[in-house]
Structure 1
Amino acid sequence: MLFDTHVHLNVNHFDQDREQVIQRAQEAGVNKMVVVGFDHETIPKALQLAEKYDFIYAAVGWHPVDAIDFTEKELIWLKELSAHEKVVALGEMGLDYHWDKSPKDIQDRVFRKQIQLAKKVNMPIIIHNREATEDIIRILQEEQAEEVGGIMHCYNDSVDYIQACLAMNFYISLGGPVTFKNASLPKEVAQQVPIDRLLIETDCPFLAPHPNRGKRNEPAFVALVAEQIAQLRGISVEDVARATTANALRLFRLVN
């Protein structure tokens, strides 16, 4: 049983074969997944998928690259959607300093507004971080995000930051990069994160794991992520699957 905690089956990369992709995921042992919506187009599609399949859940948030387009209207919309029975988290949200569409101060403001909303509705958050780790951690601390916790999505930073994340009730999620031959950071993280705070994901259609690197990623490939982590930790794939699934169920409050 595998739980892919971050997929984008709601993007047009899957328009031609979405149902077959979902079927392949099930055949690969992926029993649950969270489809993440991050703008006006992808949020409704995430909800549609969650409503159609009982093993699919949704997260709704506003991507930092598009923070400049975020208004009070979007904030109200996210609050309304947080009450949906299949929405299990708010996000992805955060900071992205790689692209320059949205100024840093606007990203900061939109990030804080979403954290504050998460605290009001008592939901975990999913963090998008690109080249902004220290600011991400500072803002999470200033906004007391530990009250809700969440996921450091597709973590690709030094182990030096892990403790600060764990102290704020965040889980560390690893994806395809942990399988890349030249990626030392995620491999080190995979070995050092406490097993009860570890999650796995694909972030499909992006970041396909080896040997599919460069191709379209899909949820079935999360099995390759689990296999690599098992090898790095010296434990069985079944142990990784069992632990990461239990962690996801606990975080998303899907445990009875």
Structure 2
Amino acid sequence: MFLVDSHCHLDGLDYQTLHKNVDDVLSKAAARDVGFCLAVATTLDGYVAMREQIGERDNVAFSCGVHPLNQDEELDVERLHSLAAQPGVVAMGETGLDYYYTPETKLRQQSSFSHHIAIGRALNKPVIVHTRDARADTLAILRQEQVMDCGGVLHCFTEDTDTAGKLLDMGFYISFSGIVTFRNAESLREAARYVPLDRILVETDSPYLAPVPHRGKENQPALVRDVAEYMAVLKGVDVETLAEITTNNFSSLFNVDLSALRQDN
């Protein structure tokens, strides 16, 4: 079996007390059949530092972008384009809109989001989208900026089936995190049952949102196995089938050839 953690923040894990280094994190993941990770940036400086920390590996790819909550300064569009064009970067983001914490930066968030999509279209790299309390504007900008040309994923999905349907109509993938295992997440489980298998990804969003029974502890890529096992039950398939399909989905969306790694597994 071969699983992919389609969204993690490897630079945000606890390397003081829980993990020796990145090798340690990845070996713990591999021990649970998680053979590949997408390390996602939230600022441009953070992207540069994250690549330096992780180095070049055949089992990690990168996404480059500025999180909607990191809008302290105006987006350096040229720098984003330059960094996102680097080898090993397979996606733009995470980008999107978050009106829950900083509604006062709405306009700057919207501008940044649009630029990420435009660069994604120019570089033919999909966008990783974060949305919170901004459903209508998120969908509107995705349509306006013609995201269908580069594709994308709504990561850490917490919306309803109606939103899922609109995203699926745009060719989007939908990624589920440990939240789907939470006791009060029945509406999310309903959405997970609704989304077809060939559009589903699984992720940790580590170090956040550890799945049950690890809730309250630091999340890490190894725990995407727990998400996959839970999703397999929701979808009525065995975990091996879910792993194969979600890994194929990841390869298709991000244009990442995992065949050599999967053979070694």
Same fold, TM-score > 0.5, yes or no: yes
What amino acid sits opposite 1:231 in the alignment? V
What pairs up with 1:183-202 in 2 under 5 angstroms? 183-202=185-204
Shift of 1:112: 0.9
Q: Mean alpha-carbon deviation: is it higher for 9-18 or for 27-36?
A: 9-18
- Could you tell me whether the CA contact under 8 Å between 1:66 and 1:101 is conserved in 2? no
SS in structure 1 of the partner of residue 14 of structure 2 = helix
What amino acid sits opposite 2:59 in the alignment? F
Find the counterpart in structure 1 of residue 67 from structure 2: 63
SS in structure 2 of the partner of residue 188 of structure 1 = helix
What amino acid sits opposite 1:149 in the alignment? G
Find the counterpart in structure 1 of residue 46 from structure 2: 42
Q: Mean alpha-carbon deviation: is it higher for 95-104 or for 151-160?
A: 95-104
Shift of 1:146: 0.9
Q: Deviations over 1:68-124 (max 9, x none)?
A: 4133xx221221122222110000000011112752111111111111111111110
What pairs up with 1:1-256 in 2 under 5 angstroms? 1-11=2-12, 13-14=14-15, 16=17, 17=19, 18=21, 19-48=23-52, 51-71=55-75, 74-100=76-102, 103-255=105-257
Give the unaligned 5+ runs of structure 1.
none
Q: Distance in 1 between matches of 2:97 and 2:72?
A: 12
Q: How many residues align?
A: 254
Q: Distance in 1 between matches of 2:16 and 2:46?
A: 13
SS in structure 1 of the partner of residue 69 of structure 2 = helix
Query: What is the TM-score of this pair, normalised by structure 2?
Result: 0.91
Shift of 1:52: 3.2
Give the unaligned 5+ runs of structure 2.
260-265
- Could you tell me whether the CA contact under 8 Å between 1:33 and 1:55 is conserved in 2? yes
Q: Which structure would you say has the larger RCO, counting Cα contacts within 8 Å and 6 or more residues apart?
A: 2
- Could you tell me whether the CA contact under 8 Å between 2:42 and 2:93 is conserved in 1? yes
What CA RMSD, in Å, does the superposition of the two structures yield over aligned residues? 1.6
Shift of 1:67: 2.2
- Could you tell me whether the CA contact under 8 Å between 1:30 and 1:220 is conserved in 2? yes
Q: Mean alpha-carbon deviation: is it higher for 74-83 or for 11-20?
A: 11-20
Shift of 1:50: 5.5
What amino acid sits opposite 1:23 in the alignment? S
Residues 106 and 249 (structure 1), Cα distance of their counterparts in 2 relative to 1, 3 Å cut: same
Shift of 1:56: 0.3
SS in structure 2 of the partner of residue 35 of structure 1 = strand
Q: Mean alpha-carbon deviation: is it higher for 207-216 or for 42-51?
A: 42-51
- Could you tell me whether the CA contact under 8 Å between 1:46 and 1:59 is conserved in 2? no
What amino acid sits opposite 2:241 in the alignment? D
- Could you tell me whether the CA contact under 8 Å between 1:62 and 1:70 is conserved in 2? no
